[in-house]
Amino acid sequence: MRSLSRWGFTAAAVVGLMGSTLAHAQEPTGSAFGPGEQAQYRVRYLGLTAGTATVTVGAPMTQWGQSVWPIVSTAKSDDLVGVYPIKSRFVSYWNAGSQRVAGSDLHSEENRKRRRQRIQLTADGAGAKVIKQKESDAPRESEHTLPEGTMDVAGATFALRGQELAVGRSYSYPVFTGSKQFTMSATVEGRETVTTPAGARDTFKVRVHTDFGGKLESKRDMVAYLSADAHHVPVRIEADFALGTVVAELTDYKPGRVVAVARADNSVD
């Protein structure tokens, strides 16, 4: 039962991982999302409905001197599942001009024990400062050198959505979780019609290979389905972790407003 109650950590990661590997070395083709967008998901764990997850693009704000859109991912366990409740809130600070993330904040509560993590990335994504804290313990800081262009999984997901996806094309991206850095890879395998509680949608089927460890170590590649329209909304994901099998399905979607953004030149002289 303890492993069942840990679904919340996995659910938040699953929603953030949907398509997260597909944004590397491609120029965005348009505005696929904007402030006000919200996607809601039903999460099933070991075949049972375990809870819900929501991803919302917030209003523009300033973080670490950058103009960003906060991408807020929340997960909450169902009251009937597990021994104790799980809540998690992950905020990725998306810089629409540079098509990168400035960093992130994680707040999680499991069995009334709280954990926090803040990641502040350098402008080029080649370095990060991480601050971790558990309950009343003193914060622990660390510095990390990373491959240029590194993002968190949620930020990379949104970078994907501005790309032109094509069947047969493979992609890769450096990802940093706050403790581990690795390259994720993915291949668009085909097109399929997928039916979820939000209705039937034409989607791209994407096979995703990760290198997570611990609870998120994959027994096999994940399969993600992204809508084939201009929004590339994550519609469904199927993941078989060491912790158990998780399926997230879209239940409701509200598009955000279209925002004209001056794109920064990320090229290096």
Q: What is the pTM of this model?
A: 0.81
Number of domains observed in the structure of the chain: 1
Q: Which residues contact 138 (CB under 8 A, 6 or more apart)?
A: none
Instruction: State how far Cα 74 lies from the chain centre.
Output: 11
- Is the residue at 45 inside a domain? yes
CA distance 15 to 167: 22
Query: 153 to each of 21, 66, 92, 163, 175, how far by Cα in Å?
Result: 8, 20, 9, 16, 6
List, for residues 93-128, the tens digit of each pLDDT value. 999 888 888 999 999 887 678 889 999 999 888 999
CB 35 within 8 A of CB 60: yes
Within-domain flag for 197: yes
Tokens for 200?
């039937």
**Confidence (pLDDT) at 117:** 95
Q: How would DSSP label each residue in 70-132? A: EEEEEEEE-TTSSSS-EEEEEEEEEETTTTEEEEEEEEEEETTEEEEEEEEE-TTSSEEEEEE
Q: Is residue 220 in some structural domain?
A: yes
Model confidence over 116-173: pLDDT tens digits? 999 999 988 899 999 999 988 899 999 999 999 898 878 777 776 777 889 998 877 7
CA 261 to chain centre: 22
Residue 27 lies in a domain: no
Phi (first) and psi of residue 11, to 5 degrees: -60, -45
Q: Considering the domain boundaries, does residue 19 fall inside one?
A: no
Confidence label for 32 from pLDDT (cuts 50, 70 and 90)? confident
How far apart are the two ends of the chain, measured CA to CA in Å? 55
208 assigned to some structural domain = yes
Domain that holds residue 212: 37-254
CATH number at residue 224: 2.40.360
Q: Is residue 260 assigned to a domain?
A: no
Does residue 7 lie within any of the structural domains? no
